Amino acid sequence: MIKDSLNKIKDKAMEEIKNVSNFDLLEKIQKKYLGRKEGELTKILKNLKNLSLEEKKIIGKLANEVKLRIESEAKKKIQELKIKAEALEENFDITLPGEKIEIGHLHPLTQFTRKITDVFVSMGFEIVDGPEAETEEYNFDLLNIPKEHPSRDLWDTFYIKSGNSPESPELDLGSGDSEQNSKNKLLLRTHTSPVQLRAMEKRKPPVRLIMPGRVFRHEATDAGHETTFHQLEGLVIGENIKMTDLIGTLQYFVKTIFGESAKIRVRPNFFPFTEPSIEVDMTCLICCGKGCGFCGGDGWIETLGAGMVHPAVLKNMKIDPNKYSGFAFGMGVDRLMMLYYGVNDIRLSYSGDLRFIKQF
Ligand code: FA5
């Protein structure tokens, strides 16, 4: 009786080991028959105590043979499975679809900046760069913004404490050290307009320049305002340059980027470095002019300031205002980018949130 059971266990185990195709299942089979507590062979051996001494000897010997047989068959199978696994690795099919590797891409602001600079380059504009840590002289004085003049309050400034180099600045949220000379009083530029002055030190009219870059303002943030944002400055100087040239250039730009139906609105404004000055708004494309948090409810977005370059500024550029005239503009790149892609909060751009960046 017990002999039959042992032989049946052996046959069943042999059959199962023969057909097994992976290591996990093989381990389960070994446990099922040889496991210390619940193994089928172990259970039979536990019942030997009821047999006579003679039977114990015979059955014990047979049980041991069955155990050794199962173990050696399992060993053989392990070898066989190892060889198969190695062969599979060697014959790896390189045409199988692999895992997709995520690659980075340009930030939407960079993508958009390239798009808009391309439009100006196609109109014959040259791209010029300038420093982000600027002197008070270039940021204000040479742009016809006198000291103590209330117009300086238009741009809430991050000053850099005296004695600091632009490479390791320490910010001062006050008005800076008034004793210090504006030539070496440093600040984080509040607009890209100072690049106009720097660019004209090395050029003579006629010029068509664009100056994209990062600017900084100490002000409260909301859906449409950041303390760090981007502007693109434009400057055209030549003989007989007129206000209509400015409006025509801006209209061409807006229609090229946003399509023929894009509307702009021009309002009179004041900038100390342009006369006359205008402010240009665009229909808020987030709410299509209905009014939303981004446009502050009035359906228009203030996108740029512009005007005819003030004669005093032309003189600071060593240009004769009787011979030459020019126009300048400074647009908020972030706000235009938001209108272009339908982004409703400027702060998302600088949040570092990959869920936002990956949409572009
Ligand atoms: C200026 O900065 C002038 N330098 C522009 C200029 C240049 C006028 C040349 C005339 C001639 P303003 O402060 O308005 O102007 O800023 C220009 C644009 O920057 C605004 O129309 C707006 O689109 C954007 N902007 C201003 N403040 C912020 C802010 N906190 N966050 C995001 N964008 C801003």
Q: Give 164-196 pLDDT, tens digit per residue.
A: 555 555 565 555 545 557 787 899 999 999 999
Q: Is residue 165 assigned to a domain? A: no
Query: CA nearest 187: which of 213, 212, 210, 217?
Result: 217
What was the pLDDT predicted at 133? 96
Same domain, 113 and 39: no
Task: Please state the atom number of ligand 1 nearest to the C-alpha of residue 304.
Answer: 21
What pLDDT score was predicted for residue 38?
Answer: 83
- 155, part of any domain: no
> 220 and 310, same structural domain?
yes
Task: Ligand 1: list residues with CB < 6 Å.
Answer: 191, 193, 217, 219, 225-226, 229, 231, 233, 271, 274, 277, 302-307, 328-330, 332, 334-335, 346
Rg (CA), the chain: 40
**Based on the domain organization, do 208 and 313 belong to the same domain?**
yes
Q: Of the candidates 40, 62, 90, which is a domain's last residue?
A: 90
Same domain, 48 and 123: no
Residue 197 binned pLDDT confidence (cut-offs 50, 70, 90):
very high
pLDDT, residue 167, reads 54
Domain count, the chain: 2
114 and 256 belong to one structural domain = yes
Ligand 1 atom at minimum distance from 154 CA: 13
Question: In the structure, what pLDDT confidence band is assigned to residue 330 with cuts at 50, 70 and 90?
Answer: very high
Q: Can you tell me which atom of ligand 1 is nearest the CA of 305?
A: 8
The pLDDT value given to residue 90: 76
Q: Whose CA is nearest to atom 25 of ligand 1?
A: 332
Cα 89 to middle of ligand 1, angstroms: 61
| pLDDT for the residue 257 | 96
Residue 176 is assigned to a structural domain of this protein: no
Residues 219 and 341 reside in one and the same domain: yes
- Do 317 and 208 share a domain, yes or no? yes
Domain region containing 341: 108-130+193-357
Mean pLDDT of 345-352: 93
| 311 & 198 share domain | yes
Is the pLDDT at 163 greater than 70, yes or no?
no
Question: 188, 190, 193, 344: which to mutate for ligand 1, most atoms within 8 A of CB?
Answer: 193
Pair 61, 113 in one domain: no
pLDDT band for 56, please (50, 70, 90 cuts).
Answer: confident
Domain contains 261: yes
Distance 14 CA to ligand 1 centre (A): 83
pLDDT of residue 164: 53
- CA-closest residue to ligand 1 atom 7: 330
Residues 29 and 116 in one domain: no
65 is a domain residue: yes
31 domain-assigned: yes
Q: How many angstroms does the Cα of residue 79 sit away from the middle of ligand 1?
A: 75
Phi, psi of 305 (to 5 degrees): -110, 150
Mean pLDDT of 209-222: 95
Asked which of 37, 58, 90 is the last residue of a domain, the reply is 90
Asked, for residue 230, whether it belongs to a domain, the answer is: yes
Q: Residue of the nearest CA to atom 14 in ligand 1?
A: 305
Ligand 1 center to residue 193 CA distance, Å? Answer: 10
Q: What is the pLDDT of residues 69-128, one digit of tens each?
A: 999 999 999 999 988 888 777 777 778 888 888 889 999 999 999 999 999 999 999 999
Which of 207, 195, 196, 197 has its CA nearest to residue 126?
Answer: 207
Decide if 23 is inside a domain.
yes
- Residues 236-278 pLDDT 10s: 999 999 999 999 999 999 999 998 878 899 999 999 999 999 9
The whole-number average pLDDT for the span 336-350 is 92
My answer on whether 57 and 125 are in the same domain is no
- Among 155, 211, 231, the mutation site with the greatest number of ligand 1 atoms within 8 A of its Cβ is 231
Assess whether 116 and 243 both reside in one domain: yes
CATH number of the domain within which 247 lies: 3.30.930.10
